[in-house]
Amino acid sequence: MRTYIDQIRAIIWKDLVLELRTRERIAAMGAFAVLAAILFNFSIDTTSTRPEDVAAGLIWMTLVFGGLLGVGRTFYLESQDNALLGLLTSPVPKDAIYLAKTLANFALLFIVSVLVLGVFALFFGLDLGANVGGIILVLGLGSLGFVALGTLFAAISTGTTMGETLLPILVFPLLVPMVIYGVTSTGRLIAGRPFDEVEGNVRMLGAFAVAALAAGAMLFRYVVED
Amino acid sequence: MATAGMRRGGTALTLVGLAGLVFVYWMSFFWVSTEINQGVVQRIFYVHVPAAWTSFMAFGFSALASAMYLWLRDDRLDRAALCAAEGGLVFGTIVLTTGPLWGKIAWGTYWTWEPRLTLTLLLWFIFVGYFMVRNSTEDPEKGKRFAAVVAIIGALDIPFIHMSVIWFRSLHPEPVVAKPDGPSLPADMLTTLLTSLAVFTVIFLGLFLYRYALEGLRAEADLRSRSTAT
Amino acid sequence: MILFRNRVWVARTVLACALFLLATAAVGAQEIQGLPRPTALASQSLRPYWHVFAAYAIVITLIGGWAISIGRRLRDLEDRLR
């Protein structure tokens, strides 16, 4: 158990250090988020809709699309110089590799999701008030579920000839429950409703994330074998 | 040869099923009484519901065979999963086209985000992904594993999708057959529906065997070309 | 089955049938224009029938299409094996 956690920690550390040095994925996702917020701002007719009514949906869409951008490249760097083979032939169990990759992705996406929230709050004039902690919790659970599925399918799409174009086709239908629960609870929290009202949704988001993590850890070994 | 037998059996079952389908059409046009509230359009229900049942059964079977394939690594399981997935897509397409045709008359709109219709649509797309993954790998063995993972994750996601879309919105008529206090359909409508259910199942089984024979022949051909190549 | 082996013949027949139907429909449309327009109620009451027929036709087309596509793939494979 001890070594298992150490192994996970080592891989996360390696990924985050690589990311810190290149800042490739976080920069791409961050820039995407800000630019998407700008474009979304012009996609709303403010004479007929109030920006704060649609902000929750737009935040989640930005998160999903921006997340795909970063998660799709999880195995890109390693598959380029055959480092993935080294990682996979090492004695580290496959599920540890999956969990480590997922958690590293989660760290990136969580930072981006907080950034997205900030950008939208600024551009759309949202008054988050006392609910800011609740919203961040919802976004965090959503990001965790997203990367749990995204990392697994990134490994699959990297192995195909279609590459990253396949990723949204595989992941979007699976993400529907997450988007439904995430958007409604974020929307209500932005509207200033108490956290109790969305507690059921938040629990479902958590269940989705845990189930996705468990399924991914179980099935990852079949994706990367040989 | 097992493949030839399966092909014959599949053809025979399909022909029986198609004859049954003609009978179901006759029942539904000339025999069953018209439903009092919805009128004629309710007759779509006799093909819509059996198609939905068949496609869900096919997708479920495909996911189960995929899981067994990852465990036992028997190519026959992968072939079964592939054939069932193809059938599921065909019957799913029937569900997704006949549903809106009924909805336009009964609800006044072709499409609503009704839970079961939404679930069918998403499942349909998940299995489109299944085929895309399968066909876009250079190594067929890899494609089989990837596709199996897609099918399993898809099946595991069903309860979540189901709960969330129900929570999101519900307009669909309540279940009328599988209810605790017995079916609420008049007897002749129930007979038509059950006959149709049986017929659709037989057609699916027949075509599944027929399709499976094709996959078996393809595997034999691959084996032969490999042995002549070396 | 001999009939279906000749694909050119099948294609030509289908095309001819389609053209015939199109021409009839065009003539029919001309004829109808001279007639009084059906009231909204009349067209409304026939609409469900069209939907039922369309749904039943879709069922036949898709199931038959799948069967034919399997048969064709089987035949192509056998031809290649021979």
Q: What confidence tens digit (pLDDT) does each residue in B76-106 have?
A: 999 999 999 999 999 999 999 999 998 888 8
Q: Does the CB of C52 have a partner CB in chain B at under 8 Å?
A: yes
Structure-derived torsion over alpha carbons of residues B173, B178, B184, B188, reported in degrees to the nearest 10: 100
Q: Which residues, in sequence order, are CB contacts of B161 under 8 Å at separation 6+?
A: A176, A177, B118, B119, B122
Query: Identity (one letter) of the amino acid at A87?
Result: L
Classify residue B135 by its DSSP letter: H
Q: Give the model's confidence band at B145: pLDDT under 50 very low, under 70 low, under 90 confident, else very high.
A: very high
Q: How many domains does chain A have?
A: 1
Q: Does the CB of C20 have a partner CB in chain B at under 8 Å?
A: no
CA dist., res. B130 & res. B70, Å (int):
15
Q: Inspect the interface and report whether the beta carbons of B210 and C78 lie closer than 8 Å.
A: no
Query: Identity (one letter) of the amino acid at B1?
Result: M
Please name the CATH architecture into which domain B2-175+193-225 falls: Up-down Bundle (1.20)
Q: Where are the beta strands (DSSP E) in C1-82?
A: none
Residue B180 pLDDT exceeds 90: no
The pLDDT of residue A226 = 67
Q: Does the CB of B30 have a partner CB in chain A at under 8 Å?
A: no
Domain holding A126, by residue range, is 2-224
CA dist., res. A55 & res. A34, Å (int):
14
CB A223 within 8 A of CB A152: yes
CA dist., res. A55 & res. A125, Å (int):
10
pLDDT digits (tens, 9 = 90+) for C28-66: 666 556 555 555 554 557 788 888 889 999 999 999 999
The pLDDT of residue B165 = 83
Substitution target from A141, A161, A203, A219 for chain B, most B beta carbons within 10 A: A219
Report ipTM (2 d.p.): 0.89
Supply the mean pLDDT for chain C. Answer: 75
Which of A95, A92, A42, A98 shows the shortest CA–CA distance to A71? A98
List chain B residues with CB under 8 Å of A174.
126, 153-154, 157
CA dist., res. B220 & res. B227, Å (int):
11
Q: Inspect the interface and report whether the beta carbons of B40 and C49 lie closer than 8 Å.
A: yes
Q: Inspect the interface and report whether the beta carbons of B43 and C52 lie closer than 8 Å.
A: yes
- Provide the chain B residues 45-74 that lie in CB contact (below 8 A) with chain A: 70
How does pLDDT run along chain A (226 residues), one tens digit per residue? 778 888 888 888 888 888 888 787 888 888 988 899 889 888 888 788 887 788 889 999 999 999 998 888 878 777 777 777 777 778 788 888 899 999 999 999 999 999 999 998 888 888 887 788 899 999 999 999 999 999 999 999 988 888 888 999 999 999 999 999 999 899 889 888 888 888 888 999 999 999 999 999 999 999 888 6
Percent helix, strand and coil across chain C, each to the nearest 5: 90, 0, 10
The nearest alpha carbon in chain A to B158 belongs to A174
Domain ranges in chain C are 1-37, 39-82
The pLDDT of residue C1 = 46
CB A37 within 8 A of CB A62: yes
Q: Inspect the interface and report whether the beta carbons of B126 and A174 lie closer than 8 Å.
A: yes
Q: Does the CB of B14 have a partner CB in chain C at under 8 Å?
A: yes
Q: Inspect the interface and report whether the beta carbons of C48 and B40 lie closer than 8 Å.
A: yes
Q: Does the CB of B79 have a partner CB in chain C at under 8 Å?
A: no
- Token reading at A82: 């055959």
pLDDT digits (tens, 9 = 90+) for B182-214: 566 788 888 888 999 999 999 999 999 999 999
The radius of gyration of chain B's CA atoms, rounded to the nearest angstrom, is 20
The nearest alpha carbon in chain B to A219 belongs to B149
Q: Does the CB of B217 have a partner CB in chain C at under 8 Å?
A: yes
Q: Does the CB of B190 have a partner CB in chain C at under 8 Å?
A: no
- Token reading at A116: 């997205």
Which of B34, B165, B17 shows the shortest CA–CA distance to B91? B17
